[in-house]
């Protein structure tokens, strides 16, 4: 068990690529930290610097209070699980798990105890004598985890460990790794490009882009209080709707205009969250208005109660997903389905510019022109140039 401190860490690869810039983070003992971001954002490089597989170009790394920059990987008390976990095919599951301990000349009885214990925790005791090729993908992944567990490390580092598995197995292994973290009560650092894995597994998430940390917080805080447009768009599916917008009205009842002729009025409470409302109010300054699909409703009762936030759209496509329904809407609600000469419009003239996630029992159909209403408490606003939030809601 250990805490980690990363202080102003940089990675510059030979040739001059700066893969990681100014990475600073305190990781507490027993946390489950997830590094998430699109491919190439520097997640793996950061993890590999913690593991000692990459040199740290600048900055300091501490594990358990001890500076680690020049400590070789095997002395860092960490264990790493990779995407390509490459079990030794000619060895049994038992020997795969025991191998690293044998190399370290751990006494035989202790090896046996640790392998049996890891196998029990992972539910693979009955496969110990099998070769990896006689196992399913999920079972192999468990063996890879077992190899890490037997080392009894202070920190587990996991680099996209589930990305080779199919969707169903991935969901299952996700919960198994979460359970494992709870049982082992050890620090986990997990790299993924999958926002669902990040949201479901992390106690805290580090969102990265182009080598820079964007925001660090709990999954719920990142979802509710994104610091910038990138974080807002990266977390959540379907992703947040973004519109160019302007603001008129008064300080206590500002009106946001967006789309074709859509307008919504903010409540006084929401207006109070705007950091510098006078920079927007009646200035014509364009900002980015963000609304999550889950905060847009087609329920007549909700709309009747929230007339100030209702606006007209036309529904392009309805996706019935069983537990929920997605409405793909166009803000250009007067638009015809055919061209003026009667020919069919190209589907490449993509008019869908808003997605709403509504109740699965919704009877809204394709082609319908109707009012939707926004739950105004949860809207977001970003500066159009810097893309940082214009709201003062960031939790301390
Ligand atoms: P991620 O894990 O987020 O996909 P990486 O940490 O693998 O991203 O890579 C971050 C950046 O560093 C990328 O631009 C990648 O091309 C570059 N990079 C990674 N490894 C090397 C290397 N060995 N030499 C030079 N550039 C590298």
DSSP conformation letters of 235-303 = SSSSPPEEEEEEEEE-SSSEEEEETTTEEEE--HHHHTTBTTGGGTBTT---EEEEE-GGGEE--HHHH
For atom 8 of ligand 1, the residue with the nearest CA is 40
**For residue 171, how far is its CA from the centre of ligand 1 (angstroms)?**
27
Instruction: Note the pLDDT tens digit of each residue in 346-355.
Output: 776 656 689 9
**For residue 21, how far is its CA from the centre of ligand 1 (angstroms)?**
12
Question: 53: exposed, middle or buried (C-beta count within 10 Å: 0-12, 13-18, 19+)?
Answer: middle
Mean pLDDT of 139-143: 90
Query: Phi and psi for 293 in degrees, rounded to 5?
Result: -55, -30
Give the DSSP H or E segment for 357. strand 354-359
For atom 24 of ligand 1, the residue with the nearest CA is 13
**For residue 146, how far is its CA from the centre of ligand 1 (angstroms)?**
28
Indicate the average pLDDT of the chain.
93
For atom 1 of ligand 1, the residue with the nearest CA is 40
Enumerate residues 6+ apart whose C-beta is below 8 A from 4.
25, 26, 27, 50, 61, 62, 63, 64, 155, 187, 189
Question: Which atom of ligand 1 is closest in space to residue 44's alpha carbon?
Answer: 2
Cα 357 to Cα 84, 180, 188, 259, 318, distances in angstroms: 36, 33, 33, 19, 10
Give the percent of the chain with pLDDT over 90.
81
Mean pLDDT of 205-209: 98
Instruction: Note the pLDDT tens digit of each residue in 230-276.
Output: 999 999 999 999 999 999 999 999 999 999 889 999 999 999 999 99
Closest listed residue to residue 42, CA positions, set 223, 163, 213:
213
Q: How many separate helices (H) and strands (E) can be counted in the chain?
A: 10, 20
Identify the pLDDT of residue 396.
Answer: 45
Tokens representing residue 395 in the block: 């939790």
Helix or strand or coil: residue 83? coil
Residue 1 banded pLDDT, cuts 50, 70, 90: low
Angstrom distance (rounded) from CA 218 to CA 216:
7
Residue with tokens 């999954």: 219
Q: By the 8 A CB rule, do 312 and 395 touch?
A: no
DSSP, residue by residue, 161-208: TTTTS-HHHHHHHHHHHHHHHHHHT-EEEEEES-HHHHHHH-SEEEEE
Mean pLDDT of 359-384: 95
At CA 101, angle to CA 51 and CA 62, rounded to 5? 25
Tokens representing residue 281 in the block: 């109010």
Query: Is a pLDDT exceeding 90 seen at residue 374?
Result: yes
> How are strands ordered across the β-sheet holding 66-67?
18-27, 4-12, 58-63, 66-67
Q: By the 8 A CB rule, do 285 and 319 touch?
A: no
For atom 15 of ligand 1, the residue with the nearest CA is 40
**For residue 239, how far is its CA from the centre of ligand 1 (angstroms)?**
26
**For residue 42, how far is its CA from the centre of ligand 1 (angstroms)?**
6
Identify the pLDDT of residue 184.
Answer: 87
Pocket of ligand 1, candidates 10, 15, 18, 19: which has the most ligand atoms within 8 Å of its Cβ, to mutate? 19
Lowest mean pLDDT among 109-123, 140-154, 157-171, 352-366: 157-171
Angstrom distance (rounded) from CA 37 to CA 47:
13
Identify the pLDDT of residue 350.
Answer: 58
Query: Is a pLDDT exceeding 50 seen at residue 367?
Result: yes
**For residue 63, how far is its CA from the centre of ligand 1 (angstroms)?**
24
Identify the pLDDT of residue 169.
Answer: 81
What residues does 391 pair with on adjacent strands? Answer: 274
Task: Please list every protein residue whose CB sits less than 6 Å from any atom of ligand 1.
Answer: 13, 15, 17, 19, 37, 39-45
Residue 227 banded pLDDT, cuts 50, 70, 90: very high
Question: Which atom of ligand 1 is closest in space to residue 35's alpha carbon?
Answer: 3
Identify the pLDDT of residue 122.
Answer: 86
Instruction: Note the pLDDT tens digit of each residue in 287-300.
Output: 999 999 999 999 99
Lowest mean pLDDT among 90-94, 144-148, 337-341: 337-341
**For residue 69, how far is its CA from the centre of ligand 1 (angstroms)?**
19
Tokens representing residue 319 in the block: 């996706």
Helix or strand or coil: residue 45? helix
Lowest mean pLDDT among 6-10, 139-143, 391-395: 391-395
What residues does 328 pair with on adjacent strands? Answer: 317, 355
Lowest mean pLDDT among 112-126, 143-157, 166-180, 256-270: 166-180
């Amino acid at each position: 068990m250990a805490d980690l401190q990363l202080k102003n860490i940089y990675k510059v690869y030979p040739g001059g690529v700066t893969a990681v810039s100014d990475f600073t983070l305190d990781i507490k003992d027993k946390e489950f930290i997830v590094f998430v971001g699109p491919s190439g954002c520097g997640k793996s490089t950061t993890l590999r610097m913690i593991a000692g597989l990459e040199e740290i170009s600048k900055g300091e790394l501490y594990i358990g209070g001890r500076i680690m920059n020049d400590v070789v990987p095997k002395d860092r008390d960490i264990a790493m699980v990779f995407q390509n976990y490459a079990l030794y095919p000619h060895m049994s599951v038992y020997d795969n798990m025991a191998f690293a301990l044998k190399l370290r000349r751990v006494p035989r009885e202790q090896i046996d105890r640790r392998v049996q214990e890891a196998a029990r925790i992972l539910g693979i005791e009955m496969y110990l004598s099998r070769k990896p090729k006689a196992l399913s993908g999920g079972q192999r992944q468990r063996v890879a985890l077992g190899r890490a567990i037997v080392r009894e490390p202070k920190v587990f580092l996991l680099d996209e460990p589930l990305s080779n598995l199919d969707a169903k197995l991935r969901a299952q292994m996700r919960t198994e790794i979460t359970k494992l973290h709870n049982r082992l009560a050890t620090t986990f650092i997990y790299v993924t490009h999958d926002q669902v894995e990040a949201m479901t597994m992390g106690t805290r998430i580090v969102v990265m882009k182009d080598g820079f940390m964007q925001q660090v917080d709990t999954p719920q805080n990142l979802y509710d209080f994104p610091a910038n447009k990138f974080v807002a768009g990266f977390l959540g599916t379907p992703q947040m709707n973004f519109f160019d917008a302007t603001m008129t009205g008064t300080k206590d009842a500002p009106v946001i205009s967006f789309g074709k002729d859509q307008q919504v009025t903010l409540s006084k409470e929401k207006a109070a969250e705007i950091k510098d409302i006078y920079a927007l109010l009646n200035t014509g300054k364009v900002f980015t208005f963000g609304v999550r699909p889950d905060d847009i409703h087609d329920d007549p009762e909700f709309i009747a109660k929230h007339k100030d936030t209702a606006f007209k759209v036309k529904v392009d496509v309805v996706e019935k997903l069983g537990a929920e329904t997605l409405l793909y809407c166009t803000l250009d609600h007067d638009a015809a389905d055919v061209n003026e000469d009667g020919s069919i419009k190209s589907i490449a003239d993509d008019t869908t510019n808003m997605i709403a996630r509504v109740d699965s029992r919704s009877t809204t159909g394709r082609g319908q022109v109707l009012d939707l209403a926004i739950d105004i408490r949860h809207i977001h606003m970003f500066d159009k140039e810097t893309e940082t939030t214009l709201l003062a809601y960031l939790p301390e």
